[in-house]
Structure 1
């Protein structure tokens, strides 16, 4: 491959890795932002309900006190109501109650706190209101309705006044929630309260009041019209559209929100809190993508440096080979006078030595290139593998800082312990990849088979998950060791499993379970390791050519991966064989010497 094509391939791989990393970072950022907004919504809902309940409980106490007031009873008995009007006016002003008024047994107002105002309730009849009829029948009632005189919505809380001969009147306290809605606006987002029928009673958005969450049944809407509970309100659905865990709002307060619903205690109401998420999602995505960029840039720079060094080394090797060839040519020209047989013999010996040397160098370079190619394929997954513990490290570090501020040393220490464990996880990932990249050499030594299998699976973790393959790995005794070199044994396993992944990827439909399996067998001084897949398999002719150099069944294959694997296993003193059947898959069997 020319230098230009090699760099174009590198740029393409870098772009694909960056796109994948940014996509994953964007998804993680959105999840983090939604979780943060959801926690904030839960806290804000608790505060909103506390504000509403505080107002309700304060106003509910007024009717209970007034039904025992002697002035109320004397007015119901026929006394002049002016003194009671003034008294109710003072109480309403001190308690910040909208209106307090007294109805006789026929439902006519005989005293009211708004007796001075043009819209005074005195003399008005409210026998048609449910809050009057229910109070006369049951002793008390609560009804949210639109005032027929003031045209202002509010909650009507009533208590019946009983006399010696039965009910004599009803005390009514009307509560308006302007201050509650103002307090809700300070929490951020939008808040509204619905009754059991889904009608919006209170809202920080005035245009949403008396709308419904879902269309009402005709008989329910007709009953509301009959009682004039909400006047001529249209009772139209709210301008909401559900989008998964989000709500899209049009019209007033348009935007995308996270919705949190909480029941209001002691009522049949539901409080809905909408918090905007678009800004939080954009901010979190930007942060995670910045982290992804910071992680990718050093890795890509290192890969580019290694690629550049490799090109220089290859150019130097070719230049030295050319100089060497020229020197040998001059030597041959000067010795041309020698006898023909002797010259031919010398030339043949020289050519064979050179060929053997090039063959040895080529094999070593091919083994190294095969290992680096495998490492390059898994580099794209490194950012994903490290991003997860990095995100957890940041969360635990922030928790530790908050705990230290609260002087909770023990909890902070626990969070920091988790940070240490996560950093060890990142170290394990990078150490495995670095060890795989090193050139395997040295004498044979006992290799723990379980560790070699675990290392190969870690290297192929991302390709396996991307292909949706969960390999079935037979349990390996922890003390089982074989003679070899760990890095090269991992290289053999990675090549065989990667070939299986590529073969399974060519199937038009999912393979039978398990699609990929690793088996272990021990017999005397030998250990057998099998890699079996449920791929398309191969014919007998294709199997016979598997270990022949530059013969490959893949359209872009070089035909060297299995040759290198066969040579590595042979250097270990073992064997590598293959058995395949078309349509049923392949089984590669490695037999190694067991280490004592």
Structure 2
């Protein structure tokens, strides 16, 4: 009986193992087929882009090479050198200008300009009148002029109303000394018109900026990780695992006609200092890979499906006999798993509760004991000085204050069990003025340490609220300490003014209001909604645990009031916490 029940289980495992290995193998074949088809399509697109780039680039380089050779030749012509000499006459200059005009016309140059060392510039052949003269001392700082004066062939791409003009410049020398610079201006609009015939994008870049392209909207866009937020287009290169370079083209203004991902062929012309790209849409390789994926997946699915049907037919006659046993085993396993999960959850909750208790006690001790101890030390030192000076009455007053602070520390030890008791116990009528004076006194040393002032604004005096004296003081000290910490994190130059913490006391109907405001950096909008959640803090990493405000909120709720984050009424203040407490019957 047992053996007959186990036989279908063994058969099922065998079938599943066969199906699993077959599925793994077919999946691997699908992945390989998809990857190979994608890589092949990528390489094919890159080859097409390379052929197109080579064709277009050869035409541009050959055209510019003519002017590259022409410029040094012009700089050595005797008739042109006569213009730069100090002894030329009008006839010689007219003859030289006519010669430059003929050369410019035959070479299809836009202009041939002569730049003198004093910044004077003479246009020998242009759409303007021949012999037009302009003066601009800053012209000598133009990149191509600077390169020519250094003895090199200067190059510069000029963007003007007439289009993109490429300028070749070369120094003219008389008796070995530089007398001026000859510049040949070449119009690149013809190249762009030829590129415009290409159905896919072609572009040239220098230092990451698009200088020349058949996509007019891309001109001056940035590449190579540069960012130009003013330009509506961005082009970002990214490597491909399969070799070809990919370029992501994105539009900030929502244009999608040429936006997308492209396969790029790249070539750098070191003579020009430009990098040229020819792009092919990435969607073609993606569609090829998707087609291969669908076909191979369908074939694999048919094979797996046919084999699964056959296996299911064999298992059908044994499945009913195994059903009851499988069900009972499943239920037993589920009960065991759930029991283990519940035990682990219970242990985790107990551990979390212990950690929370430790964190709360640490926060209370840090905020509540350090400040009174500092005050006791200060009063003790002052009392010693006063007794030494014979001022016994004032020294006795300091000792009396020390005694009160010791009593306060004893009371604080009793209130550390606040969260262990239900909210709302041990409440009585408490003077807000008295609690506030004690809190300000305790926080003055810390305020002086961070260079801040504590301001108290009493719009209502003799205010009595229902609360616990020590616990309300604990809340105020916590909020004032947070404000001082926020001011300490921000330097005075960033803040623009001295650090200020303002405590405002007011009456609102049957409630008393206490507001603590500071001119620190403020709280980020993302944190405002959850600032009272445990472990949420606006302080730097490792500075705060994020438990002070939840503890304070819990204490105020126990008084029957509320603690909230509100917008400051004063523009100089950045953060305001408001405590709302019910007035005592005798307040």
| TM, length-normalised to structure 2 | 0.41
